[in-house]
Structure 1
Amino acid sequence: MTPTTLPHALLRRATDALGSSFYAYDLDGLAAHLGELQAGPARLWYAVKANPLSAVIQTLAEAGFGFDVASPGELDQVLAQGVCPSRILNTGPVKTPAMLRHFLERGVRIFVLESHRQLTDLATLCEQTGIQVEVLFRVQLSWPKQDDGKINVLGGSDATPFGLTPEQWDPECTTLPPSMTLLGVHCFQWGNILDADTLIAHWQAALPRLARLLDRWQLEAPVVDLGGGLGIPYHGESETLDWTRVVEALTTLKRQYRLGQCWLELGRYAVGPYGYYLSPVADIKENQGVRFAVIEGGSQHALRPALTGQPFPVAALDTTQGPMQPYQIRGALCTGLDNLGDVQLPAGLQPGHWLCFGQAGAYGFTESMPYFLCHTLPAEITLSNGEYQVLRPAKAAQHYLA
């Protein structure tokens, strides 16, 4: 990412007006991207955990996406944007009876079951209310252990609380009540994959085992939800996922295994490239041979770099003076963990200049820890038709401290 690729003038106007750290989302770019994705052969769902901002949800709804929601809060946010409950899929490893009732009372009728306990609890509620639902079994497959040095937030080849094995979902071990119709299975275990061949290889390895389970249930035209995991490049990565190859593979797999539908739950891949996080530089200093750019914000607004060790791509919004040189970007928290990465920035960078972090449309503010040290929450704005709109202004800690 370079300053020439940014909506520079519009962001500069926003920094002048807002004065403190904020997130910005390019709705025009997002809408164009979503239109291209809908040309594929899969039914597309948006994983709301990636970014639950109202304007983002509205843009996805207009593009025809369904919504993968994993909490009552996400559900209510999606419904508040006028989305019909028939376009909502309930996922997530925790579904208490109270949560399931919340979803049923609001009209949701499609559930991904992670365990026999969830099945039993949902069946009890359906019996009490007379409601009919459709379900998918979440399947966790065993894989050869992989140690490529990368952090995998979905567990990869490790055991996780997500789903059960095919053997545990076998008809001999699982009984569905009359109130439930089995649509198919849900299965994915890897995140942020940039190489289409790697993604497709995972699907090709999983489908034979999933197909055997579906055959045991004698489903005609079943659904296979292949989840998310489609990646976007961060700092130091140049590869981008080949969507054309993904579409070709889905078409082949659907025909080969006689599937009714393939589903994808896109989060990062749908919205990630269309968001920015901006924060002003508070200090420039050197310590033990390291040159630091200390920003007003940091991990309390954008935690992902500290979690993954992988920075967002970043550019200086104000200056390109002088040669590029290494900086370590640190934030306002009193902990060495508040590290947004080692990057190259202009030698002319000064306090008061703004840094703009790209690929921040997903897993940004709502993934972070905004209340630590009681700093000001960042604003969130949208960019569209050459203008910006403030959806949530920056808020000082006094609005939430008890």
Structure 2
Amino acid sequence: MQTLSTPVKAAITDLTAQQHEPFYLYDLEQLSKHLKSINDQSVVKLWYAVKANPLSSVIQTLDQAGFDFDVASSGELKQVLSQGIDAKRVLNTGPAKSQHQIEEFFSFGVTTFVAESINQVTWLQEAAQRHDTQLRILLRVQLRWPNNEKNPLGGDSLTPFGLGAEEWTTISLGDYPNLDFAGLHIFQWGNMLDASKLASLWQQMIAPLVSLSERLEMNLRILDLGGGLGIPYSSEDLPIDWQAILTSLAQFKADARIEELWMELGRYAVGECGYYVNPVIEQKQNYGANQLILAGGINHLLRPAVTGQPFPAKLLRESQTTAVPFTLHGPLCTALDNLGEHLLPADIHEDDWLVFSQCGAYGFTESMPYFLCHALPAEFIYQAGEVRCVRSSLTPQEYLR
């Protein structure tokens, strides 16, 4: 788990003297070091899943680190292109690709798509034919798994992502002359920390994926394993072993006899660079339990309510008081506004601030910011020893119409 460095802690402390509302801070120096450490290899091509954090400064840092970009909407595409990134470096994923969206992506120059249905294959062919061009296509495959493996993205459950192997074999690739079917895409696990389990799952994929490519008479050159690499959210969790992941991927690539292996990293790429800083409104005791009411909750940080797994939280100032369990609640009029139970110093009071870490991914843009008309959080970056505000806090009067 990423430790709050002394310079970043000092920067956050300075900001709390100026701010009255919760805010985010992203340590781009730490992010750059992490990205270099994982992209300095030749085993797997890394894409950045923009859904994890679409902030311009974050995208620019990924660009400088040599990542290409996985986008799942027109909004994400325009955000990436606005950073000066060539559309040829964009991979269009996501289950909902309408004919209108496909045409829009064409107009911006995107040429690589993950097809999630037979309809999408047909629409991509029609668009490519109209524009007299060739597209690179990966078919997304949804496999069923033994032993009732469960996970947030499906496991053996039915999801809207891709099609089963039998469904894909109903098409003939030769019917789509403008589409280069370069490979297959599969991604069914999220936030995994066990490198050996991931290796086992990937090995189980080889036989059905190669078999499908043979049945389709596809020249299988690319396999895209999506993302799914996790980061620890509790002190009991250990970070995933990246070198073990690379070893497993190299073996997978050799066993599948493919030219390229792709992954789209989101949380693992940017999760540890972000902090959500939240002022305490009050401490109270209720039915023998310690409760903290905070200025921000799931309107800024929704993930705990969705997954039941809180972001790590610490008191910003130093305290020698014994830590006791507190349940953290935000300002919304719903019991869902719960940021989890945390061990924190017993002397917390209304002038204190909490720092939530691991918030570089699935933070503000995954939240529900407009409920109860609270202010939107400002976002700051820390880079080259300086703090810069990249988006000021917005009041309801500024964002409501």
Pairwise TM-score range, normalised by the shorter structure:
over 0.9
CA contact (8 A) 1:281 1:352 kept: yes
SS at match of 1:18: coil
Partner of 1:14 in structure 2?
Answer: 15
| 1:324-353 deviations in Å (ceiling 9; x for gaps) | 111000000000100000010011211120
| Deviation of the 1:221 alpha carbon | 5.5
Alignment check: 8 A CA contact 2:26 2:275 kept: yes
Paired position in structure 1 for 2:146: 144
1:47 pairs with one of 29, 49, 58: 49
Q: State how far apart, in whole Å, the 1-side matches of 2:328 and 2:174 are.
A: 54
Question: 2:70 is paired with a residue of what secondary structure?
Answer: strand
C-alpha displacement at 1:235, in angstroms? 2.6
CA apart distance, 1:4: 6.0
Q: Which of residues 80, 95, 100 in structure 2 aligns to 1:78?
A: 80
Per-residue deviation at 1:220?
4.2
Letter in 1 for 2:382: L
Deviation at 1:127, TM superposition (A): 1.7
Other structure's SS at 1:30 match? helix
Write the letter of the residue equivalent to 2:313: V
Q: Secondary structure at the match of 1:167?
A: helix
| Distance (Å, rounded) in 2 between the aligned partners of 1:400 and 1:19 | 18
Indicate the SS of the match to 1:320.
coil
Map 1:1-400 onto structure 2 (within 5 A). Answer: 5=5, 7-40=8-41, 41-144=43-146, 146=148, 152-170=151-169, 172=171, 176-220=175-219, 222-400=221-399
Q: Counterpart amino acid of 1:135?
A: I
Classify the secondary structure of the residue corresponding to 1:256: helix
Report the more deviating stretch, 171-180 or 229-238. 171-180
Inter-partner Cα distance in structure 2 for 1:228 and 1:145: 22
Q: SS where residue 165 of structure 2 aligns?
A: coil
What is the distance in 2 between the residues matched to 1:4 and 1:58? 23
Number of equivalences: 399
Tell me by how many angstroms 1:246 deviates: 0.5
Is residue 132–residue 180 contact of structure 1 (8 Å, CA) maintained in 2?
A: yes
TM-superposition CA deviations, 1:89-117 (whole Å, max 9, x none): 00000000111111000000000000011
C-alpha deviations, 1:268-301, integer Å up to 9, x for none? 0000011000110001101111111111001000
Deviations 1:125-171 (A, max 9, x none): 122222321100000001125366xxx33112201110001122226
C-alpha displacement of 1:176: 4.2
SS at match of 1:17: coil
Amino acid at match of 2:237: S
CA-to-aligned-CA distance 1:67-89 (integer Å, 9 cap, x gap):
00000000000000011111100
Uncovered stretches (5+) of structure 1, i.e. residues with no partner:
none
In the superposition, the TM-score normalised over structure 1's length comes to: 0.96
Q: 1:109 to 1:263 in 2, by over 3 A?
A: same
Partners of 1:174 and 1:140 lie apart in 2 by 19
C-alpha separation in 1, matches of 2:160 and 2:3: 42
Q: Is the 8 A contact 2:183 2:219 kept in 1?
A: no
> Aligned partners of 2:61, 2:200: CA distance in 1, in Å?
32
SS in 1 for 2:18: helix
| 8 Å Cα contact 2:373/2:396 also seen in 1 | yes
Post-superposition offset of 1:39: 2.2
Give unmatched runs, 5+ long, in structure 2.
Answer: none
Query: In the TM superposition, what whole-angstrom CA distance separates every residue of 1:158-216 from its partner, at most 9, and x where no partner exists?
Result: 01110001122226555541111011000011100000011111101111110111223
Q: How well do the aligned residues superpose, as a CA RMSD in angstroms? A: 1.6
Q: Is contact 2:22–2:278 with CA below 8 Å preserved after alignment? A: yes
- Give the distance between the partners of 1:236 and 1:311, measured in 2 at CA: 12
Structure 2 CA distance, aligned partners of 1:176 and 1:400?
A: 49
User: What is the alpha-carbon distance in structure 2 between the residues aligned to residue 93 and residue 31 of structure 1?
Assistant: 31
* Pair 1:69–1:172, CA change in 2 (3 A): closer
Deviation, 1:265, is: 0.4
Provide TM-score, normalisation by structure 2.
Answer: 0.96
Matched residue type, 2:365: T
Q: Per-residue deviation at 1:254?
A: 0.9
